[in-house]
């Protein structure tokens, strides 16, 4: 569920509640959540499934509502079960209770209106009209009271959702960080790649960089030295400070750099700059006077082609990295 403005949320609720009442849908948190999403019309797949089921069965079974809620409304982080899920379910529960009350209020108001119409049809004295006016006034007042309560509860739901969203954003950030280097991890890199691609207007490029012979370095100088080297290369990558980029470490000595507004030519030059900078480093062993042998990296680059999807794009960069390794290492390959 997105963080709507109160006006928009009220609008959606006012659409969802009558539909739920018409189809006699139980106001459970799951139902409330998916019907709210349904009327927002922003999730085509969910709407298709719901339309298809309603066509076939005439109603939406409870178990399906629960499954749809989990599949379409709970982001991955909520599903990891760290209290967020319950918090969200409570919020939905709270909103469902107030939407039920609002639904009842609307029903009562409808009843008042129907009765008033009947009385008016038969009214032939001024005092009848007076009675209808009083009756309508009372009905409208009661409905306004319920609507106010409903709006208050919506405000509360919104502030709680905003809190939850901030918690979730923090969690996402923490989940995306590689502890060793403080760069983004592979999952974070891929997440950005999936976010960037659909709205890509300019050239998007990937640099995949891998330390050459890390296994040998580990063997010769120890794993701690190898790990220190992984951190050191990460610092060199950070020092590039390229705008609109995502700097990541995947695993071992492999790094990924995602660049926005970067042509193949620019990316190639940047990759070569990095490669040369790394190969020129004189790295001392355990802060002694002994230097490690020259440390080199191999690089594969790729620039997004037309309608290419994120997986194929990344696969192409990996292929080019492999080609660089197979061409004798310490070089950059873009095909």
Ligand X SMILES: Nc1nc2c(ncn2[C@@H]2O[C@H](COP(=O)(O)OP(=O)(O)OP(=O)(O)O)[C@@H](O)[C@H]2O)c(=O)[nH]1
Note the residues at the interface with ligand X (CB under 6 A).
210-216, 218, 223, 226-227, 230, 252-253, 325, 329
CB of 153 or CB of 218, closer to ligand X: 218
Cα separation, 319 vs 324, in Å, equals 9
Whether 318 contacts 304, CB under 8 Å: no
Q: Collapsing DSSP states into helix, strand and coil, what is residue 274? A: helix
Q: How far is the CB of 333 from ligand X (least distance, A)?
A: 14
CB of 252 or CB of 309, closer to ligand X: 252
Q: How far is the CB of 257 from ligand X (least distance, A)?
A: 17
CB of 168 or CB of 225, closer to ligand X: 225
CB of 103 or CB of 188, closer to ligand X: 188
Q: How far is the CB of 175 from ligand X (least distance, A)?
A: 19
Whether 141 contacts 152, CB under 8 Å: no
CB of 161 or CB of 209, closer to ligand X: 209
Provide the 10 A C-beta neighbour count for residue 72.
18
CB of 114 or CB of 326, closer to ligand X: 326
Specify which residues 257 forms β-bridges with: 207, 247
Q: How far is the CB of 262 from ligand X (least distance, A)?
A: 25
* Helix count and strand count (H, E) for the chain: 12, 5
Q: How far is the CB of 326 from ligand X (least distance, A)?
A: 9
Q: How far is the CB of 88 from ligand X (least distance, A)?
A: 36
b/e per residue 220-230 (b: at least 16 CB within 10 A): ebeeeebeebb
Cα separation, 313 vs 311, in Å, equals 5
**What are the angstrom distances between the C-alpha of 238 and each of 171, 191, 274?**
23, 20, 11
Closest-approach residue to ligand X (CB): 226
Provide the 10 A C-beta neighbour count for residue 213.
14
Token pair listed for 321: 């990295």
Q: How far is the CB of 300 from ligand X (least distance, A)?
A: 12
Q: How far is the CB of 258 from ligand X (least distance, A)?
A: 21
Cα separation, 46 vs 73, in Å, equals 10
Dihedral angle computed from the Cα positions of residues 305, 310, 311 and 314, in that order, rounded to the nearest 10 degrees: 70
Angle between helices 264-279 and 223-239 (to 10 degrees): 140
CB of 303 or CB of 330, closer to ligand X: 330
CB of 258 or CB of 295, closer to ligand X: 295
CB of 135 or CB of 285, closer to ligand X: 285
Cα separation, 172 vs 195, in Å, equals 14
Q: How far is the CB of 59 from ligand X (least distance, A)?
A: 54
DSSP-assigned letter for residue 75: -
């Amino acid at each position: 569920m997105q963080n709507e403005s109160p006006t928009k949320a009220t609008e959606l609720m006012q659409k969802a509640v009558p539909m739920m009442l018409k189809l006699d849908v139980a106001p459970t948190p799951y139902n409330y959540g998916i019907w709210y999403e349904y009327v927002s019309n922003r999730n085509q797949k969910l709407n298709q499934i719901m339309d298809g089921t309603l066509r076939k069965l005439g109603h939406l079974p409870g178990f399906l509502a629960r499954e749809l809620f989990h599949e379409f409304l709970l982001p991955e982080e909520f599903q990891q079960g760290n209290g967020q899920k319950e918090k969200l379910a409570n919020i939905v529960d709270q909103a469902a209770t107030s939407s039920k009350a609002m639904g009842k209020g609307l029903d009562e108001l409808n009843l008042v209106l129907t009765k008033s119409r009947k009385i008016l049809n038969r009214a032939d004295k001024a005092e009848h009209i007076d009675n209808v006016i009083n009756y309508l006034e009372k009905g409208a007042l009661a409905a306004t009271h319920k609507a106010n309560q409903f709006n208050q509860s919506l405000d509360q739901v919104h502030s709680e959702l905003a809190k939850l969203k901030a918690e979730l954003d923090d969690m996402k950030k923490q989940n995306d960080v590689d502890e060793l280097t403080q760069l983004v991890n592979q999952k974070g890199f891929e997440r950005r790649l999936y976010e960037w691609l659909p709205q890509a207007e300019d050239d998007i490029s990937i640099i995949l960089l891998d330390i050459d012979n890390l296994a040998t370095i580990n063997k010769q100088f120890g794993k701690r030295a190898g790990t220190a080297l992984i951190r050191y290369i990460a610092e060199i990558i950070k020092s590039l400070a390229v705008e609109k980029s995502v700097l990541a470490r995947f695993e071992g000595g492999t790094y990924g750099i995602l660049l926005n507004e970067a042509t193949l030519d620019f990316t190639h030059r940047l990759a070569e700059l990095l490669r040369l900078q790394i190969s020129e480093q004189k790295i001392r062993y355990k802060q002694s006077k002994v230097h490690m042998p020259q440390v080199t990296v191999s690089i594969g680059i790729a620039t997004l082609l037309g309608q290419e999807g994120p997986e194929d794009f990344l696969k192409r960069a990996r292929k080019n990295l492999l080609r660089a390794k197979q061409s004798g290492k310490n070089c950059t390959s873009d095909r």
